[in-house]
Amino acid sequence: MGGEGMGLENLVVLAPLASVALGAMSILLLSLFFAGPPRERSRRTRRTGGRPGGLQRDRLREAGVEAELVRMRINLLLASVATAALAGAGGIAASRLLAPPGDGFAMLELDGLAAVSILIVALAATLVIWLSTSRLTSIRVPYGEYYALVLLGLAGSFVALQAENMMVLFLGLEVMGLSASILAAAERGKEHAIEAALKGFLANVLASGVLLLGIAFLYGATGHFDYAGLQSTFDPSQPLALAGLALLFGGFAMKLGLVPFHQWLPDFQEGASTSIAAYVSTCVIMSVILAWLRVILHALPDLGPLLAPVFSVLGVASIVIANLMALIQRNVKRMLGWLVIAQSGAWVLTFVVGGSVAYGALLFALISYGLVMLGAFGVVMTLKGGGRELERLEHFAGIAESRKGLAAMMTLFMLALAGVPGTVGFWARWHLVGALVAGGELVLAVVAVLGSVVSLYICMQVPVMMYMRETLEEEPSESSTNELGVLLLCAVVVIGLGIWPDPLIAIRGIGLLELLQASIH
Amino acid sequence: MALGSSSLTFLLFLTGAVAAFDPEKMGLQLVEYADWLPGYGVQYFVAIDGINMFLILLATLMVPLVLLASWMHIQRSLRSFVFFLLVFESAVLGVFLSFNVLLFHIFWQVALVSMYFMIGIWGGKERIFRATKFLLHTGIGSVLMGVAILVLFRLNLEASGAPGLDLIAQPGSVAPGLLDLVIPVDSNALTWWRGQTGLFIGFALAFAVTLPIFPLHSWFPDALADAPTAGSALMAALLLQMGAYGLVRFALPLFPDAAMALAPIIQVLALVSIAYAGVCAFFQQDLKRTVAYLAMVQAGFIVLGLFSEQELGLVGGVVGMLSRGLSVAALILLVGMLEERRRTRRIGEFGGLAAPMPVWVVFMGISLMAAVGVPSTSGFVFELLALTATFFSSAWMGIAACLGGFGMAACLYGMYRKVAFGPVTVESNRGLMDIDWRERTLLLALLIPILWIGLYPNPLLRRIEPSVLEVVRHMSERQAPSPDSQAEPRARGTLGLSTLGEGF
């Protein structure tokens, strides 16, 4: 299909995908040579070798320390390779933003929207990787596989974000979802993790099935898989086309975890290890909504009044129910999971209004969300007590006294998540609600802001615990420099963009310009 | 350190701004204008006029005072406390200074959140629940104000094609000032929220919650009672005035028609809150809660003054903010001193304090008199102005308000007599130390302005009046001509200070 007019410049379209895929391959190869799984060998050696005294013990301990060091270096090496791959993808996307749009393949396209989407997801993924480097040893996930799976998942995500064809979209989403399930299951020792992986997998497969059925129906109604063809031939008066549309959007809503298709998401977040939960709730969720946005813009004609009630109901239900459910959670990861749903609800509301203002607000909100969510998950990840993560709200009690910096950062992320001024979250909410107001949807705007007040209450539970309650006796351990670095970066950016959001506006502006040129609306 | 910097701020402001302020001039002075986020219509636009100048003085005065007052109180992480205190101060100053609506909104929310932390971390037994209640009440109000601001932004964008949220257009900015924007009264069922009424409600809800006005007050006595002394003094002196200030600065001049249409309802609510809070004050067992209801009664008077739509009433409202801030803050500090000594605030625990603590009793008396508006205190000036204006706009409301005021004064007299005079009922009160020099100094810093305003309000009024006239001018200019204009509408703004005679 994509053969005609294929020049070198068209290969650029494939470059982000190629970059991450190559990165994944090289990581797998490298780990064959160097790493192997982070076995407990050193620990065992130390334990058994503890008997003979004196010199031998010292040497053994030395060897253990050395092995530890080597492993750490390999870990960092692999993480750097992954980062380089992501940077490559992001760089190509960024360069594409500055250059005028050219022709792509028929199947994939690297236009403004795709480039901005890839940038957003790649950025989040980089942060996820550096957040989780030091966690891999303790949860005993093999490094190589971990990084490779993350990168492969991103390859799927990039395909979905660049797709110009329904089958390609499906393939991309499928690759992404599968890699997330495998990642969740990689932590073999933990029962919860397996359960979460299974739940995530089943929900994802079901969603994919529904999505595929929708694509099939659409094909039956219009005879097209490609977005352009669909857009020109889609006829909302055809029942088959409508059914296909409903199934397609149902699939997306399931993947996004919108109410009423939400139940898998909090379970997944609670069960999966924190770094995987962070990966899914940022990279995966953001990719799904961006791919959905792409479908709405490129594959469908303007269906405004037809779809507005659907999106309104999905969005309002998600905001209301997810916030209410988050109120009663005592597990911070699960609570964050519900908040993810509430946020997705707010994003979907922008589909009701449509147009450049709303989609610009969506892009802005996604960037802000990625930073803030990663920060929040990062803090949860960093607070380890006695070898396990501190997940329950009670575990946060009095943290402010022993870990001042972390507590302050967590407070910042929580405030940002609820949209308090001084953080980037405020502007994200401002844009979202502003778009709703501009579109004349007062009721939705009020629901969104009231939802944000409830979110504020929910989010404030964590600082309340940290600052206002007495300390538990359990002392949390030290956190690694990588984690702290990423968290600090997030915090600085959250505040910086909160005071000066102009750079984001610029990115959004470039994306929107092309988005408007490319789309028909 | 913090004390030093905050006192320095106060002195700087006192010497700098007050000297530079020209009382005769209308409009804004000492304007500072800088582009912040022009795309959003947010400009760093701060200025001083007669309305906010004294509130800023109050704010800069209060912070060093409460720092001085809570020197020994705060045992837990003093540094963070001072951090939140100073954040709160900057936010409040921002609220009072902003002439850009979004800037105002941002500072507003920062002030609320920092107050939330002050209550929640350093408050009393039920601090977390009450801090949360505070945050939910005020938070809902403020996000609705946010929606209203977004609508205003849209309206201005549609009218002029440029983003702008400044109240008054500054040279160099493309968008017109909001005060030049014509906002229709609009009664269309679908677009009502783009008209004055909807916008006014959006703003006024946030302000009514912070004032607080019945029935949106339930957070207030709780939050005030459970906040640490420093926090509740700041809340009463500054946070509560933010609501009244917002009405004068934004809600009234921007939406005069809606304000006028809704004025009767609001005045009735103000009367209800005077009566309700008076009754509640009478039945409280906790001194601090009594003070809280007292502040609410005064909120009722302020609102009556502001919505009388007379210049006199507006001046009264502005003086009222100041007077309420001073007197309630003094009361809270006094109660705090008592609490520090006895570890309780129950009225029943005290009696005959005049014997062991004569100075405390005298100071308490003056502050209470200011709070209920006894002549020669600032409370009198404000209530006189507000009530005169109310009488002018509706006689029965004026009478009702007067009755409420008298009733409350009687109740408080009863409370004061129980606490201060008579025999010493509880043995442990006999040996109480009277307040020391540190405490006297900081109380005097509040009581001297109270008495000064009460005895010689002229300098104050002369500075406030031109700015209030400006507000009145905006209100009457922006008011849509009523269809039956031959029927003389309520004579707005005719009742000026000059009508009170040469004495003022």
Instruction: Measure Cα distances from A495 to A275, A421, B457 in Å.
Output: 23, 9, 45
Q: DSSP of B132-161, one letter per residue?
A: HHHHHHHHHHHHHHHHHHHHHHHHHHHHHS
pLDDT at A338: 92
Closest CA to B84 of B59, B63, B56: B63
Q: In this complex, is the C-beta atom of B113 within 8 Å of any C-beta atom belonging to chain A?
A: yes
Matching residue, tokens 């040579």 = A33
Are B106 and A456 a contacting pair at CB < 8 A? no
Contact yes or no for A467/A400 (Cβ under 8 A): yes
DSSP for residue B499: G
Residue B33, beta-bridge partner list: B45
Looking at residues A374-385, what average pLDDT do you find? 82
Mean pLDDT value of segment A212-227 = 91
Q: How far is A387 from chain B (nearest CA, A)?
A: 29
Residues of chain B positioned with their CB less than 8 A from the CB of A501: 37
Helix, strand, or coil (residue B431): coil
Q: Does A284 have pLDDT greater than 90?
A: yes
Interface of A with B (CB under 8 A): 401, 415, 420-422, 426-427, 430, 433-434, 437-438, 440, 442, 445-446, 449-450, 452-453, 456-457, 460, 463-464, 467-468, 500-502, 505
Nearest by CB: A502 against B37, B80, B113 = B37
| Range B365-369 contact pairs with CB under 8 angstroms and sequence separation of 24 or more | B365/B416, B365/B420, B366/B330, B366/B447, B366/B450, B366/B451, B367/B327, B367/B330, B367/B331, B367/B334, B367/B446, B367/B447, B367/B450, B368/B331, B368/B412, B368/B416
Residue with tokens 């800037």: B103
Best CA proximity match to B45, nearest among B107, B97, B111: B97
Which of A401, A427, A437 lies nearest to residue B151, judging by beta carbons?
Answer: A437
* DSSP three-state, residue A472: coil
E strand or H helix at A92, and its extent? Answer: helix A54-98
Question: If pLDDT is split at 50, 70 and 90, which confidence band does A348 have?
Answer: very high
Is pLDDT above 50 for A329?
yes
How many angstroms separate the Cα of A74 from the Cα of each of A33, A44, A133, A136, A142?
A: 10, 21, 11, 12, 11
Yes or no, beta carbons of B139 and A433 under 8 Å apart: no
Q: So what's the pLDDT on residue B63?
A: 80
Q: Which pLDDT does position A237 carry in this prediction?
A: 86
How high is the mean pLDDT of chain B? 78
Do β-strands A388-389 and B42-48 pair in parallel, antiparallel, or remain unpaired?
A: unpaired
Instruction: Look up the pTM and report it.
Output: 0.86
Whole-Å CA distances, A31 to A22, A71, A77, A143, B451: 14, 11, 10, 8, 81
How many C-beta neighbours within 10 Å does residue A3 have?
A: 7
Top mean pLDDT of A94-103, A222-231, A399-408 is at: A222-231
Domain ranges of chain B: 2-478
Model confidence at B485: pLDDT above 50 = no
Q: So what's the pLDDT on residue A358?
A: 85
Q: Spell out the residues 6+ positions from residue A16 whose beta carbon is closer than 8 angstroms to its own.
A: A88, A89, A90, A92, A93, A110, A118, A122, A158, A162
Q: A430–B127: do the CB atoms touch at under 8 Å?
A: no
Residue B246, C-beta contacts closer than 8 angstroms, at least 6 positions apart: B95, B104, B108, B203, B206, B207, B210
Cis before B375? omega within 30: no
What is the reported pLDDT for A507? 59
In which element (H, E) is residue A205 found? helix A191-222
Closest-CA residue of A relative to B36 is A500
Residue A140: band (very low, low, confident or very high) from pLDDT cuts 50, 70, 90? low
Q: Which of A362-371, B126-135, B238-247 has the lowest mean pLDDT?
A: B126-135
When computed from its CA atoms, the radius of gyration of chain B, rounded to whole angstroms, is 22
Are B116 and A460 inside 8 Å of each other by CB?
yes
Residue B501 pLDDT grade (very low, low, confident, very high; cuts 50, 70, 90): very low
Give SS3 for B95: helix
Question: Encoding tokens for residue B139?
Answer: 């938070």
pLDDT of residue A343 exceeding 90, the answer is yes
| B212 prior amide bond cis, ω within 30 | yes
| B115: nearest Cα among B72, B61, B75, B66 | B66
Q: How confident is the model at residue A40 (pLDDT cuts 50, 70, 90)?
A: very low
Residue A8 has pLDDT above 70, yes or no: no
Best mutation target among B103, B147, B209 (most A Cβ atoms within 10 Å) is B147
Radius of gyration of chain A (CA): 23
Distance CA A264, CA A257 (A): 7
Most trustworthy range by pLDDT among B288-297, B373-382, B419-428: B288-297
**Buried/exposed code over A158-175 (b: 16+ C-beta within 10 A; e: otherwise):** bbbbbbbbbebbbbbbbb
Mean pLDDT of the region A73-82: 82
> How many Cα atoms occupy the beta-carbon half-sphere of A120 within 13 Å?
32
- Sorted by sequence, the CB contacts under 8 Å of residue B330 that are 6+ apart come out as B363, B366, B367, B370, B443, B446, B447, B450
Report which of B106, B56, B64, B54 is spatially closest to residue B85, judged by C-alpha positions: B64
Mean pLDDT of B246-250: 88
Whether residue A452 and residue B143 make contact (CB cut-off 8 A), yes or no, is yes
Average pLDDT over chain A reads 82
d(CA A226, CA A238): 19
Find tokens 């699960």 and name the residue: A334
Condensed to tens digits (0 to 9), the pLDDT of residues B56-110 reads 888 888 888 887 777 666 666 777 788 888 888 888 888 888 888 888 899 999 9
Both tokens assigned to B181: 């924007």
Q: Which residue has the higher pLDDT, A246 or A475?
A: A246
Q: Which residues of B touch A459 (CB under 8 A)?
A: none
Q: What is the ipTM, given to two decimal places?
A: 0.82
Give Dmax (Cα) for chain A: 85
CA–CA separation, A391 vs A334, rounded Å?
9
CB spacing of A420 vs B110 below 8 angstroms: yes
A395: Cβ–Cβ under 8 A, 6 or more apart, which residues? Answer: A383, A385, A472, A474
What is the pLDDT averaged over residues A307-318? 91
Structure tokens at A51: 């008997």
* 3-state DSSP assignment of residue A470: coil
Average pLDDT over residues A53-79: 74
Percent of chain B with pLDDT over 90: 1
How far is B81 from B350, CA to CA, in rounded Å?
A: 31
Q: Residues 180 to 209 of B: which have CB under 8 A from any A CB?
A: 191, 193
A interface mutation test: which of B44, B145, B150, B188 has the most A CBs within 10 A? Answer: B150
> CA–CA separation, B300 vs B437, rounded Å?
35
**Of A480 and A311, which is predicted with more confidence?**
A311
Q: Which residue has the higher pLDDT, B37 or B206?
A: B206
Average confidence (pLDDT) over B19-29: 54
B152-170 confidence digits (pLDDT tens): 888 888 777 777 777 777 7
pLDDT at B1: 56
pLDDT band at A2 (very low <50, low <70, confident <90, very high): very low
Q: Decide: helix, strand or coil at residue A487.
A: helix
Is the pLDDT at A4 greater than 60? The verdict is no
Token look-up 């709703």 returns A436
Average confidence (pLDDT) over B301-312? 84
Q: Residues B447, B323: contact at Cβ < 8 Å?
A: no
Do residues B370 and B298 touch, judged by C-beta distance below 8 A? Answer: no
Percent of residues, chain A, with pLDDT higher than 90: 24
Query: What's residue A49's pLDDT?
Result: 43
